[in-house]
Structure 1
Amino acid sequence: MKNAETVWAIVDEKSPAFFDLSDRVWDMAEINYEEVRSSGEHLRLLEAEGFRIERGVAGIPTAIMGEAGEGGPVIAILGEYDALPGLSQEAGVAEQRPLIAGGHGHGCGHNLLGAGSMLAAAAVKDFLAAGGLAGRVRYYGCPAEEGGSAKGFMVRAGIFDDVDIAMCWHPAAFTGVNNPVSLACSEMNFHFSGRASHAAATPHLGRSALDAVELMNVGINFLREHMPTTARIHYAITDAGGSAPNVVQANATVRYLVRARKLPELLSLVARVKRVAEGAAWMTETTMRQEIISGDANLMGNEPLERCMQNQLERLGPAIFSEDDKATARKFQATFTPEDIASSYARFQVQPKKDAPLCDLIVPLYAGDSTIVGSTDVGSVSWVVPTVQMRGATYAIGTPGHSWQLVAQGKLPAAHKGMAHAAKAMAATAVELFLNPMLVEEAKADLQARLDDNPFINPIPDDVMPPIPTQTAARP
């Protein structure tokens, strides 16, 4: 217990600088692969803390790494700092009030995620140095989690090959070790090309790419009846071929996001989706080109790490929120539907409470509704390194994910308290692993046992490159 209390105290001492970092990143809200200023802010604090720095990790300009310590095992703490488009919102205001029309916002709390993970890494760094202990702690600044799958590209580049343990956290309504269930996913474009023609005078000469897109969507709707119940398929027409109805559309594009519970299921389902697209092209006498953009593996659990982190959370207890924090959270809850709040409790399998605006407990290990899940590129990391993830309460119970309400709560005192609390839990878990090498070996053995009959196939093909904007790639 003494070691945990020591590293908790280091977190408390360092927290103000990292709260400032989180708030600065909230203010600049940059989306996938455009996080130039956000990653720069993280770099500056890493340098101030004395970490050894690596820029442009895996050839991604906004991916960074800081390392401290010597010898021993390598423990990586993963951070993120990308925002979401269209979620600009004034901080602390319980009504929708964009700062910039159509601007970006931190609707998933990644401003807190990155700063909190680096705070944990900095505390572990100081703990190792003070005790003269062997071991290396790394902070990985990972861009483009929101559909960009940067960690998958980083895995493919081999940057986790010498890492012994990886951990991370995510802002949430409740605090607990993450139930290691997520959906593997693949995001891809289907480009159809046909032949333009006058839609009235010579419609018989045209071959409509938009017809192909629509027929593909119909085919996918029929496919939904014949796929696993845990799978999901979503789509958006990104190019309808123009706005003139008197022209047969020669080109059109539809983007699909395919999700499944396990990697083999995903790969099989993606193949079926492609066949539907090929059928639509045959029916319309158009051509089809598939373009994979990104992909994530499902999370691979690790029981020794999950139990270790759960023990640290139970020693720490829940974050302590003030009456002012609760009063502010109630204002936000007034903007939610009853279904929002019920879903939040159901996701973590927590018994609903009256007048409980903020989390006041540690969720039991492996609690959670395994049907209310999304995808994360942490999944790809978890297949190559023993990985554990936690959720940390930073916002009002019932807050919808990817919403203006979540953005608005990102700079509140409650968010800072939840961030520091998560940093303490991660730092204490890392310290326990450094001091108990057998736990590291148990975690590695657990992962190997899961992989023995289930080899990892990265859902991002080798020829797919991250979609780095030209202006980002050009920055020094």
Structure 2
Amino acid sequence: MDIIKEVEKLIEKKRNELTQISDQIWEYAETRFEEYKSAQLICDMLEKEEFTLRTHIANLETGFIGSYGHGYPIIAILGEYDALTGLSQRDKCAVADPVKKNGNGHGCGHNLLGVGSLAAALAVKEYLKEKNVPGTVRYYGCPAEESGYGKTYMVREGFFQDVDVAFSWHPATVNGVMHTSSNAVMQATFKFKGRSSHAAASPHLGRSALDAVELMNIGVNYMREHMIDEARVHYAITNSGGISPNVVQAEAEVMYLIRAPKPSQVKELYERVVKIAKGAALMTETQMEQQIQGACANLIPNQTMEQLMHKQMMQINLAEVKQEEIAFAKAIYESTSAEDKEAAKKQVGSLLDRALADHPVFNQIAPMSKNVSFMTGSTDVADVSWNVPTAQCVTATWAYATPFHTWQAVAQGKTEYAHDAMLLAGKAIAATAIEMIENQELISQAKQELEDRLEGESYECLVPSHIQPPNYSESEEEDYSVV
């Protein structure tokens, strides 16, 4: 069996249906834990394709598993479909032009990600069906990757315990295989409660929750000098206590993301941030409540699987990009800042930079690095990778130099080259999965590599067991820890 040709045929047969689903999810642009219509659309396709569905897994309203086949090996393919707030943008438009002011948009391309993974799952299913061989393919519908980390809950609740290998991918500006680690992260909300009063007539009677938030932020800023270089701490004031300066703010809230290369380092930093919050509450005579909103570990690479995926990717026919698509990609490239262009140039080098500036749709497969790179961002794919050998690729859904989480990324979400790249990812994942089903010694090698890389460490979920994902269809009070 020529795996590549077979996979290409299987996926191309469903191209129109898959691109329509991706475009519809782009239109829905639903954010963390609220991806109701997007999840249902993928579930409908899986059900149509004879997959057995389990919904609302791990207490996730928009989390699900579609399963086909029987027995081992069990192949997990991870799909995401959440959008970002504030990134509404018209498609195929090379200037910032929101469809809806402050609306949502797929600035990380998860409309493509979820459907590229779906394409892979469908192709593996067809292989299992036609060959009538033992094996199970599962599509994991994973909500809230951007903020909330749905996969972490799935791992914590045991939904990957029997999986042999897992695959994912991500939209990008190049085609290649990820050989990288990442920062672990904890996300937490800090609420301060004080006492309102007239800011001029009786300021001495008020206790400002906003002052507490500001003092906390100052304290964390001073902490930055005394933490490891790779760590990152970000915050956003999510409730400033109102818009009346003549009223002492009785309530205020700030959300923090705390990142570091190892989960133990993240936990240590989080505990320091909590102490700072307590100090801010003491200084302002306010009450502080904190809650972990989500977390994920650091990514564990698997070279056994990644080298195999790279080999498969090199054999896949890359689609030719039409001239009008290249023209649009060039317009997007020109819309990016000089700083974005310079950052992209540092990644690819001067020679390739000049070629991509003229033809900004990457049309080759990048060589695979022998050394593990480090990603300062975070992904909940990491929690899967601690428990199951995991491989990921990236494909060029966006023009060269397109920054993640921008209107430019949203604008390209329905282009033909984005669709081609989405299906390229699906083909790479499917071909690699089928190769591992046919040669199960590769699965054993991947498992051994994971064990070696962990060096005796075991997985510990950073989200405490009493914390559950939010259910937005229900009106429940969130579980906060009062300090």
Tell me if the contact between 2:25 and 2:111 (Cα under 8 Å) persists in the aligned partners: yes
Match for 2:432 among 405, 429, 432?
429
| SS of residue matched to 2:89 | coil
**In structure 2, what is the equivalent of residue 132 of structure 1?**
132
Distance between the aligned counterparts of 2:22 and 2:371, measured in 1? 28
Superimposed CA distance per residue, residues 36-86 of structure 1 (whole angstroms, 9 cap, x where no aligned partner) = 111111011111111111121222121121111122200011111111112
Distance between the aligned counterparts of 1:366 and 1:320, measured in 2? 26
Superimposed CA distance per residue, residues 142-191 of structure 1 (whole angstroms, 9 cap, x where no aligned partner) = 11111121111111111111111110111110011113222111111111
Displacement of 1:244 in angstroms is: 2.5
Tell me if the contact between 1:173 and 1:397 (Cα under 8 Å) persists in the aligned partners: yes
1:185 maps to a residue whose letter is V
Tell me if the contact between 2:397 and 2:421 (Cα under 8 Å) persists in the aligned partners: yes
**In structure 1, what is the equivalent of residue 387 of structure 2?**
384
**In structure 2, what is the equivalent of residue 92 of structure 1?**
92
CA-atom RMSD, angstroms? Answer: 2.0
Distance between the aligned counterparts of 2:130 and 2:374, measured in 1? 45
**In structure 1, what is the equivalent of residue 246 of structure 2?**
246
Q: Write out aligned runs for 1:317-356 (5 A).
A: 318-347=318-347, 351-354=352-355, 355-356=358-359
Superimposed CA distance per residue, residues 9-58 of structure 1 (whole angstroms, 9 cap, x where no aligned partner) = 21122222111111111111111111111111101111111111112122
Distance between the aligned counterparts of 1:420 and 1:299, measured in 2? 24
| SS of residue matched to 1:27 | helix
Distance between the aligned counterparts of 1:24 and 1:206, measured in 2? 50
Corresponding residue pairs, total:
473
Distance between the aligned counterparts of 2:219 and 2:470, measured in 1? 29
Distance 1:304 1:162, change over 3 A: same
**In structure 1, what is the equivalent of residue 363 of structure 2?**
360
Q: Which runs of 5+ in 2 are unaligned?
A: 477-483
Distance between the aligned counterparts of 1:289 and 1:103, measured in 2? 30
Distance between the aligned counterparts of 1:317 and 1:124, measured in 2? 19
Tell me if the contact between 2:180 and 2:373 (Cα under 8 Å) persists in the aligned partners: no
**In structure 2, what is the equivalent of residue 118 of structure 1?**
118
1:454 maps to a residue whose letter is E
Distance between the aligned counterparts of 1:211 and 1:422, measured in 2? 49
Query: With structure 2 as the length reference, what TM-score do the two structures score?
Result: 0.93
| SS of residue matched to 1:283 | helix
Q: Percent identity of the aligned residues? A: 45
**In structure 1, what is the equivalent of residue 479 of structure 2?**
none
Distance 1:218 1:166, change over 3 A: same
1:365 maps to a residue whose letter is M
Deviates more, 1:195-204 or 1:138-147: 195-204
Query: With structure 1 as the length reference, what TM-score do the two structures score?
Result: 0.95
Tell me if the contact between 1:336 and 1:399 (Cα under 8 Å) persists in the aligned partners: yes
Match for 2:398 among 384, 395, 400?
395
Q: Write out aligned runs for 1:284-303 (5 A).
A: 284-303=284-303
| SS of residue matched to 2:247 | coil
| SS of residue matched to 2:387 | coil
Tell me if the contact between 2:186 and 2:296 (Cα under 8 Å) persists in the aligned partners: yes
Displacement of 1:275 in angstroms is: 1.2
Deviates more, 1:411-420 or 1:451-460: 451-460
Displacement of 1:333 in angstroms is: 1.2
| SS of residue matched to 2:181 | coil
Distance 1:29 1:75, change over 3 A: same
1:454 aligns with 2:457: yes
Distance between the aligned counterparts of 1:28 and 1:193, measured in 2? 36
**In structure 1, what is the equivalent of residue 423 of structure 2?**
420
Distance between the aligned counterparts of 2:14 and 2:370, measured in 1? 32
Tell me if the contact between 1:349 and 1:367 (Cα under 8 Å) persists in the aligned partners: no
| SS of residue matched to 1:470 | coil
Displacement of 1:251 in angstroms is: 2.0
Distance 1:219 1:348, change over 3 A: farther
2:383 maps to a residue whose letter is S
1:269 aligns with 2:272: no
Distance 1:349 1:437, change over 3 A: farther
Distance 1:327 1:10, change over 3 A: same
Distance 1:341 1:468, change over 3 A: farther
Distance between the aligned counterparts of 1:253 and 1:69, measured in 2? 48
Tell me if the contact between 2:185 and 2:260 (Cα under 8 Å) persists in the aligned partners: yes
Tell me if the contact between 1:86 and 1:102 (Cα under 8 Å) persists in the aligned partners: yes
Distance between the aligned counterparts of 1:369 and 1:170, measured in 2? 17
Superimposed CA distance per residue, residues 231-274 of structure 1 (whole angstroms, 9 cap, x where no aligned partner) = 11111111222223233222221111111111111111111111
| SS of residue matched to 1:352 | helix
Distance 1:180 1:466, change over 3 A: same
